[in-house]
Every structure is written in structure tokens, then in C-alpha cells.
Structure 1
Amino acid sequence: MHYGSKGWYVQELKKLGMTTYEGRKLQSYKTHFLANLLDTVKK
């Protein structure tokens, strides 16, 4: 998996224990949304 790819963001969020967001799987969101979500979760 390449750094910054959609799969990478999904993998990083899963490491933090998150598999869904607002009842939807992480894979259904676009990359830019996942990047922002990861940024807010890490803070």
C-alpha cells in the first residue's frame, strides 16, 4: 500500500480501532474525507 492512498488511510484508521463512520464502512468514503478524518482522530 502506498502512503497517502485510500487503502493506506483505511488501514491507519483501522489501526486506531475505527471500522465505520456514521454507520458506513470507511471504504465507501473518498480519499480526501478519510485524510481529514484521520487528522481529526489523531488530534
Structure 2
Amino acid sequence: PEAVVKIGHVGPTTGPQAHLGKDNENGARMAIEDANAKNIVI
């Protein structure tokens, strides 16, 4: 059976380190897209 997996992310979104949180979020999204494209089941 298929299940929905929710992935949370905690990182800075404001202030002088906001770019680090966004970079981390983008990396996670890219990894998820890559796994989905390869039909990897986690």
C-alpha cells in the first residue's frame, strides 16, 4: 500500500543566516525530486 510521507524542515528563514535555511531547503527538495524520478521507495 502507498503512504504519504511528510518531511519537515527546520532552518533560519529570516535574519543574517536566512540564506542558509533556503539553501538547505532547496537541497532537500532536489533530493526528494531525484528520489521520485528514480522511483526510490523510502
TM-score category by the smaller chain?
0.3 to 0.5
Instruction: Determine which structure has more spread, i.e. the larger CA radius of gyration.
Output: 2
More strand per residue: 1 or 2? 1
Q: Name the TM-score, length of structure 2 as normaliser.
A: 0.33
Q: Name the TM-score, length of structure 1 as normaliser.
A: 0.33
Structure ranking higher on relative contact order (CA contacts 8 Å, 6+ apart): 1
More helix per residue: 1 or 2? 1
